[in-house]
Amino acid sequence: MIVSPNTIFLTVSMGVKIKPDHLKNPSFSLTTWCKAHWRGILSEFLSTLMLILLGCMSCVPVPGIDTSIYAPFAFGCVVMFNIQIFGHISGAFMNPTVTLASVIWGSTSIGLGVAYVVAECVGAVLGYGILIALSPIDLVSSGVCVTKPYTGVTVLQTLGIEICITAALSFICMSVWDPVNEHKQDSTAIKFGVTILGLSFVAGSLTGASMNPARSLGPAVWTGQWTQHWAYWVGPLTGSGLAAVMYKYVFFRRLRDEGNLDLNNEANDRQV
């Protein structure tokens, strides 16, 4: 969810054209590609599995204890330590919407992005399956950790809420990936953990604050509860995509142009 833009993106942003690997290397093959990326794909699978397994574990009801406030803190903490563990390997996206933002930003190829999304979805499904085996209660019939709109929230409201909160998450991602902040990465895991915590408090009581199609998919597959499930794909993907495009083509260009202007002014001052 949080690695800085890679060298290729930074080079491209400075105007140097780089050919894709399969054009630079005539011997490019699927085997070569898998050898280069299998660790990242495995990282996305494991991090998303842990996100759903441990995050949803906090939603398991305990007699005599109010666990309603546990989920935001649990998901925030799991995101935080997953980023610390896997961030330097794959980015620890754990979320197809963040993967989409990374593809738009230019630091992840489309092919690798698709592989990450598949790994994230499979990890989410398996993570909830493991939780079912570990849970002392029947999660399937009770629908524990299923994201669905609460009473009175319409499908359009659900869509709008998920667009807004996922756009906020995507803006955070883009800001962290911006080369301007490449030397401010020490507290990145904490930043994202607190972001998930805050956004979960904001919209958790309305839509479940998914922001993550894989997170919604895992419980839905096992419980068979697909109420307005499409909104938990369309909303987050739309919000993330719009925010990523806006940051890349509006804010990032403006900051880069202002940076060039400052450099030119400094050069003129030195000449004077």
Residue 140 CB: number of other CB atoms within 10 A? 16
Quick one: which H or E segment has residue 151?
Answer: none
Distance CA 158, CA 150 (A): 9
When pLDDT is cut at 50, 70 and 90, the band that residue 181 belongs to is confident
Q: What percent of the chain has pLDDT over 70?
A: 82
pLDDT tens for each residue of 127-154: 999 999 999 999 999 999 999 999 899 9
Residue type, position 158, single letter: T
Choice between 21 and 196, residue whose per-residue pLDDT is larger = 196
| CA 32 to each of CA 21, 27, 73: distance values in angstroms, whole numbers, following the listed order | 10, 9, 40
Q: How far is CA 98 from the centre of its chain?
A: 3
**The model's pTM:** 0.84
Domains, the chain, in order of start with CATH, read: 7-271 (1.20.1080.10)
State the Cα–Cα distance between residues 155 and 194, nearest whole angstrom.
28
First to last CA, the chain: 46
Q: In this predicted model, what pLDDT tens digit does every residue of 5-55 receive, in sequence order?
A: 443 333 333 333 334 444 445 556 888 999 999 999 999 999 999 999 999
Question: For residue 173, which of 237, 232, 247, 115 has the smallest C-alpha distance?
Answer: 247
Residue with tokens 């004077």: 272
Q: Determine phi and psi for 65, rounding to 5 degrees.
A: -130, 130
Q: Which residue has the tokens 């054209």?
A: 17
